[in-house]
Amino acid sequence: MFIVESYGVAVALCFVTMLCWGSWANTQKLASQEWRFQLFYWDYSIGVLLLALLLAFTLGSSGEEGRSFVEDISQASPEAIRMALLGGAVFNLANILLVVAIDIAGMAVAFPVGIGLALVIGVLANYDPQQVSNSMLLFLGVGLVVVAIVLDALIYRRLPTDGQAGVGKGLMISVIAGIAMGFFYRFVAQSMSFDFANPEPGLMTPYSAGVWFGIGLLVSNLLFLIPLNYKPVTGDPVPLADYFRQGTPRLHLVGIFGGAIWATGFCFNIIAAGKAGYAVSYGLGQGATMVAAFWGVFIWKEFRDAPAGTNRLIAAMFAAFLVGLGMIIYSNL
């Protein structure tokens, strides 16, 4: 199996995570004119699992170190499998709740609260002093990334809007989403051996963990997504039959591609964790918020109607993010 041998490569893979996690939602944006979120999300979930399987049978089955995917998944203990499945289900709950919160309260409230909480909780939950060279730098860096996320919220609040009803409800859902998002990674980490070259019996390598995670995500749609089909937060109910009646090959491919983008980031992140450590790897990955902001600022031109002075906030946001990112990277050198 492919194993990361250098810290530089691990950081590079975490940057790929940021790009993927901050970019997959563009596929939803592309499909939203013709395709309700509840239907798009089924294809997204399928895409996550398909990409995890692809990496498992390629990178996870090549090389001489570690265990090949088939060997590894065959020896996994029931407890390790349960942890990876739970990680997929918890992430799915968090992701769906975050989308609901955005629908109710808007991006400016829901996204910074949810992802900001997830970043802080995720780094704390995955922190191990033995995996970090300089803990102070790590936490200072995480703090600056949180500052950047708060500035992102302030920028969105400056945009012209008709107002959002139910902000309090949306805020509460954002908090629940952030807590769940902060813990999902820890469950996956508990299913894996930290020594990928000589993995412990019963525990899994990242490739097998990624596959079980994808299965947990897809199957948990039966619990979390189907209720939203028939009792959506906004709009009319979305019968499951519409998935087959309205879905075109292009729409299905867009959703699958979105899931594959997110899963590429996730799989690369847990592969990198063997060298970077779980806390650093997760912290860098959640910098995806700023990648999403980059799309909003420079590609979708979301701030073209913002009032004067917004550009200074945007510059401060990216500055805090870049400095914080640098601190997180150097915390493990």
| Per-residue three-class SS string for 124-173 | HHHCCHHHCCCHHHHHHHHHHHHHHHHHHHHHHHCCCCCCCCCHHHHHHH
Alpha-carbon distance of 173 to 169, in angstroms, equals 6
How many CB atoms neighbour CB 227 within 10 A?
12
Q: In the chain, how long is the greatest CA-to-CA distance?
A: 60
Q: How confident is the model at residue 235 (pLDDT cuts 50, 70, 90)?
A: confident
Average pLDDT over residues 282-303: 80
Q: Is residue 152 part of a domain?
A: yes
Residue 308 pLDDT level (bands cut at 50, 70, 90):
confident
Q: What is the mean pLDDT of residues 220-230?
A: 94
8 Å CB contact between 126 and 279: yes
pLDDT at 319: 93
Q: What is the mean pLDDT of residues 109-125?
A: 85
SS3 63: coil
Q: Say yes or no to pLDDT of 217 above 90.
A: yes
Query: What pLDDT does residue 168 have?
Result: 77
Q: Is 260's pLDDT higher than 80? A: yes
What percentage of the chain carries pLDDT values higher than 90? 66
Tokens of 6: 């250098």
The sign of the CA dihedral 277, 283, 285, 291 is negative
Distance CA 222, CA 219 (A): 6
pLDDT score of 116: 83
Q: Which amino acid belongs to residue 326?
A: G
| Amino acid letter, 231 | K
Question: What's the confidence (pLDDT) of residue 167?
Answer: 67
Determine the Cα–Cα distance for residues 276 and 66; give it in Å rounded to an integer.
18
Flag whether 195 is in a domain: yes
C-alpha distances in Å from residue 272, one per residue of 7, 77, 78, 137, 333: 8, 23, 25, 19, 14
Report the candidate in 269, 218, 223 with the shortest Cα–Cα distance to residue 44: 218
Per-residue pLDDT at 296 exceeds 90: no
Q: Which domain holds residue 302?
A: 7-330
**Is 1 inside a domain boundary?**
no
Tokens 């199957």 — which residue? 219
Residues 78-94: b if buried by 16+ CB within 10 A, e if exposed: eebbebbbbbbbbbbbb
Tell me the average pLDDT across 313-329: 92
pLDDT tens column, 138-181:
999 999 989 988 888 888 778 776 555 566 788 888 889 999 99
* Stronger pLDDT, 304 or 69, i.e. the higher one: 69
Instruction: Say how far apart CA 186 and CA 60 lie, in whole Å.
Output: 21
Residue 46 lies in a domain: yes
- pLDDT, one tens digit per residue, over 45-86 is 999 999 999 999 999 999 888 999 999 999 999 999 999 999
Residues in the chain: 333
What pLDDT, on the 0 to 100 scale, is given for residue 164? 54
Counting Cβ atoms within 10 Å, is residue 292 exposed (0-12), middle (13-18) or buried (19+)? buried
User: Using the 8-state DSSP alphabet, how is residue 192 labeled?
Assistant: B
Which tokens in the block code for residue 47?
């895409």
Q: Rounded mean pLDDT of 244-260?
A: 94
* HSE-CB of 2 using CA atoms within 13 angstroms: 15
Average pLDDT across the chain, whole number: 90
Phi, psi of 186 (to 5 degrees): -65, -40
Residue 2 in any domain: the answer is: no
Query: Tokens 């509840």 — which residue?
Result: 38
- For residue 26, the model assigns a pLDDT of 85
pLDDT surpasses 70 at 5: yes
pLDDT at 288 over 90: no
Q: What is the mean pLDDT of residues 115-139?
A: 92
**Total domains present in the chain:** 1
CA proximity to 2, closest of 275, 190, 333: 275
What would the mean pLDDT of 204-225 be, rounded to a whole number?
Answer: 97
Q: What is the structure's pLDDT at 34?
A: 84
